[in-house]
Structure 1
Amino acid sequence: MKNVERTIISQYANSPIICGLISNINEYLDPSLDIEQFYNIIWNLDTAEGIGLDFWGNVVGIQRNVQIDDKNQFIGSTLASDDLKEYQAGRVHLMNDTMFRSMIFLKAMSNIIYATAPNINRLLQALFEKRGRAYFVKNGTMQARYVFEFRLTPVEKAVLISTDLLPRPSGVLVDFYEPDIRNTFGFTEAELAPFGQGAFYIGDR
């Protein structure tokens, strides 16, 4: 410990025995390594693992164990048919550290966000900027949609289906869509298919 003498309260500061014991212990024990490990494994969410992530999950209100639901809220995906063969409905799935860390960040941001479309889109941009475009759009009266222009992993889709992690405005029905960008008609600048090579997307199921 650095400056160990400053940690001794004044009534013992002139006791040679107590000061000697503290000085000797300070030479034999170095708490800096334990403090660093505590910070990396427990306190720093970017590097936390195991019990550290379990702690943070309790803080934000999400569990590592997820009960998989078989309802298919993902339009344009094979979830609940192919993907859920691995994540059977009714079974409990245990998220690994990498997945759980991502869901903790998502839940933490969802807990404090004011659920308007601009705020939700800023959240999605921050979360998925390295993966691709993801955005929140209104697609009907009291209806909205999360659109992912990249493929979420099967476990990501299973967790999103079985939990209520992503924010939604009060009273709004929300679903999820994974468009097949390469086969959807649009403009070249948006990396969509040109004339004669893609279908219009009209937003219906």
Structure 2
Amino acid sequence: MIDIRETILAQYANSPALTSIIEHFNAAADPRRLIELFLHEVWNPATATGWGLDVWGRIVGIGRILKIDTAGYWGFSQGYPSSRTFGEGIWYSGQGATSNYRLPDNDYRQLIFAKAAANISSASIADINRILMILFGNRGHCYLANTDDHTMMLVFSFRPTPIDVGIIASGVLPRPSGVRYRYMFVPPTKNDFGNDIL
């Protein structure tokens, strides 16, 4: 309690031993600090960390551990999407082509917000573009383009990292029925003043 003396009966208020016991118990049992800590570390997803973010991840249905592609292997893109050509990759040895990556808190928070938006979206292009802005808005232009072959093309103006591709492949973006995603990297071009344009 904030002012414990208001709760002590008048006949006991002048007893130093009794008031000392009550004040020490009040200080030990004061829940304000714990409530404040709980609200900051768990309840508010914008400030939650660690275990609190893991709770929010379970609520929205997305895990912190992502499977991402390891180093690019030499081959053809039909067999393995991130295959590299001559002089760029290593031969595939038959080992697992993915590895687990644990997202740090800030990246996981963005993923949680994106998944929460996806849970209530109508899977329209406008909704998916909003989710892409949550995920990659600070890195460059990224948008969804509709094609005529039952695919949706994710167009990046920056080079997506394997973690970016792992986030997209994790199922955070809503996908209309019968449609699959493809990725395309379009490097930005420079205007006459040296600024990036699309």
Q: TM-score, normalised by structure 2?
A: 0.68
**Residues 146 and 174, structure 1, Cα contact 8 Å, conserved in 2:** yes
Please state whether the residue corresponding to 1:169 is helix, strand or coil.
coil
- Between the aligned residues of both structures, percent identity stands at 34
Task: Identify which of structures 1 and 2 has the higher relative contact order when contacts are C-alpha pairs closer than 8 Å and 6+ apart.
Answer: 1
State the partner residue of 2:66: 66
Say how many residue pairs are matched. Answer: 174
- Is structure 2 residue 171 aligned with structure 1 residue 164? yes
Give the Cα–Cα distance (whole angstroms) in 2 for the partners of residues 158 and 102 of structure 1: 14
Once the 2 structures are TM-superposed, how far is the Cα of residue 69 of structure 1 from its aligned partner? 5.3
**Which structure has the larger Rg?**
2
Deviation at 1:94, TM superposition (A): 1.8
Work out whether residues 155 and 183 of structure 2, in 8 Å CA contact, stay in contact via their aligned partners in 1: yes
CA distance in 2, matches of 1:110, 1:152: 21
Displacement after TM superposition at 1:59 (Å): 0.4
Equivalent residue for 2:114, pick from 106, 109, 125: 106
Matches of 1:50 and 1:37, distance apart in 2: 13
Query: CA, structure 1 residues 25+79, in 2 after alignment: closer, same or farther (shift >3 Å)?
Result: farther
Aligned pair 1:43/2:49, yes or no?
A: no
Q: Is the 2:188–2:196 Cα contact (8 Å) retained in structure 1?
A: no
Mapping 1:180-199, distance limit 5 Å: 180-182=187-189, 191-192=197-198
Equivalent position of 2:101 in the other structure: 93
Label 1:153 to 1:98 Cα distance change in 2 as closer, same or farther (>3 A): farther
- Distance in 2 between residues matched to 1:152 and 1:29, nearest whole Å: 50
TM value normalised by structure 1: 0.66
The answer to whether the Cα contact below 8 Å between 2:68 and 2:162 also exists between their aligned partners in 1 is no
Once residues 168 and 57 of structure 1 are traced to their aligned partners in structure 2, the CA distance between those partners, rounded to angstroms, is: 20
Structure 1 residue ranges without an equivalent (≥5):
193-205
2 CA distance for matches of 1:114 and 1:138?
A: 16
Alignment of 1:1-205 (within 5 A): 1-2=1-2, 25-68=25-68, 79=82, 81=84, 89-161=97-169, 163-182=170-189, 191-192=197-198
